[in-house]
Amino acid sequence: MNRPVPRRATVLYAISASCAVIGALLWVRGQTSALPRGYGAFLAADGYTSSAWRVWSPAVPEERLGLYLIVAGLVLAVAARLFSIRHD
């Protein structure tokens, strides 16, 4: 008979999912924020204004921060799984 997952494991799963989602969004934002390269692309993107709001330090690009958060989410998910197995 399966016992319910401990509350701590559920909290760890929620935190890991949040980290992974935020990381994926930051990674996508970092990938799509490149400046246009050609004159035609510049005209197409003329109405687009990128956000000046920085999520992190200028020393760490958003793509790298996103990857760090995705990895942190995966590590937390594995830790939650091991925690739930250990308490069974």
pLDDT band at 1 (very low <50, low <70, confident <90, very high): very low
Region 23-35: mean pLDDT is: 79
More confident residue, 14 or 55: 14
9: tokens are 């494991």
Q: Which residues contact 32 (CB under 8 A, 6 or more apart)?
A: none
The residue among 8, 27, 19 whose CA lies nearest residue 81 is: 8
Domain locations along the chain: 7-47+56-86
Per residue in 45-78, pLDDT (tens digit) is 545 555 566 666 778 788 888 999 999 999 999 9
More confident residue, 49 or 27: 27
Phi and psi at residue 53, in whole multiples of 5°? -75, 125
pTM above 0.75, yes or no: no
